[in-house]
Amino acid sequence: MSKERPDIPAYPQSGVASTCRSYDEYLTMFDLTEARLREGPVLDAAGGASSFTAELCARGLDARAADPFYAGEREEVIAAAAREIGVSSAKLEANLTHYDWSYYGSPTRHRALREASLAKFAAHFRADAGEDRYAAAGLPRLPYADGTFSLALCSHFLFLYADQFGLDFHAEALRELLRVVRPGGEVRIYPLVSLRWEPYPHLPELLASILPLAEARETAGKLPFVPVASPMLTLTRR
Ligand SMILES: C[S@@+](CC[C@H](N)C(=O)[O-])C[C@H]1O[C@@H](n2cnc3c(N)ncnc32)[C@H](O)[C@@H]1O
């Protein structure tokens, strides 16, 4: 686990932002191949306005996303995600040198990727009314039967908002994600640092508490960007 960097200012955020990382960002940060994604249904928990679910469905895969954010009127959800691109881009511009731009290339390309991802999400989300691929649901309660998924992902929610969600929430959320994956299935979570860029301090006790349910493994993060490199966590359900 990387060391905390108290010299780097925290990312300024009140509440939880609804961002829209792209399919390629998901493949990179979760170290995924399309073959792995084809092994069974995939859940994007805290999916926000990411195009990940849309892109999986476009490839004929069975994918779903859950986020309390989807509860709003659809056009307002999309508009809120578009506003967040502007807000987050301005925050990044204000502290450019703290970030590692080797993956994105530049702030302009970072923003363009987000806009392209949002456009794909928006088209799929608008068309989804009958299919219910997007569940307005928040951890630690998900509206799926036990063992529904082969893979559940959680990008930039758990551990990142450690200031707003306590240890009990995180423990319940991990148990819930494990409940909805089948035995042998996986939960992958990234990153494991907070918006203060501190490694999640309770991770060892949290992983110890779910040991009867899952084997845990940390691997090096593959998406350089935030000021402190973070591993990815994989939980394999027993
Ligand atoms: C930073 S965004 C990440 C979105 C997407 N996964 C990505 O990587 O771009 C965090 C998301 O967590 C969602 N969220 C907030 N509370 C939640 C909860 N209790 N359970 C699941 N998601 C939640 C927010 O609505 C927001 O869309």
Q: Is 138 in the pocket of ligand 1 (CB under 6 A)?
A: yes
CB of 231 within 6 A of ligand 1: the answer is: no
Residue ranges of domains in the chain, CATH in brackets: 23-237 (3.40.50.150)
The gap from C-alpha 67 to its chain's centroid, in whole angstroms, comes to 10
| pLDDT tens per residue, range 181-231 | 999 999 999 999 999 999 999 999 999 999 999 999 999 999 989 888 899
CA of 204 to the centre of ligand 1 (A): 23
Tell me what pLDDT residue 227 has.
Answer: 86
- Nearest Cα to Cα of residue 46 among 153, 146, 125, 151: 153
Instruction: Say what the pTM is.
Output: 0.95
The model's pLDDT over 139-177, given as tens digits with 9 standing for 90+, comes to 999 999 999 999 999 999 999 999 999 999 999 999 999
pLDDT digits over 1-35, tens only?
A: 444 455 788 888 888 999 999 999 999 999 999 99
Element housing 176 (H / E): helix 167-180
pLDDT tens column, 68-81:
999 989 999 999 99
- Residue appearing with tokens 């939880």: 16
The answer to whether the CB of 193 is under 6 A from ligand 1 is no
Predicted local distance difference test score (pLDDT) of residue 104? 95
pLDDT more than 70, % of the chain: 96
| Cα–ligand 1 centroid distance for 208 (angstroms) | 25
Contact assessment for residue 53 and residue 64, using Cβ atoms and an 8 Å cutoff:
yes
Q: Which of 14, 18, 139, 180 to mutate to test the pocket of ligand 1 (most atoms within 8 A of CB)?
A: 18
Q: What is the rounded CA–CA span in Å between residue 48 and residue 95?
A: 24
C-alpha span between 102 and 75 (Å, rounded): 34
Cis amide leading into 204 (omega within 30): no
Q: Would you say the CB of residue 190 lies under 6 angstroms from ligand 1?
A: no
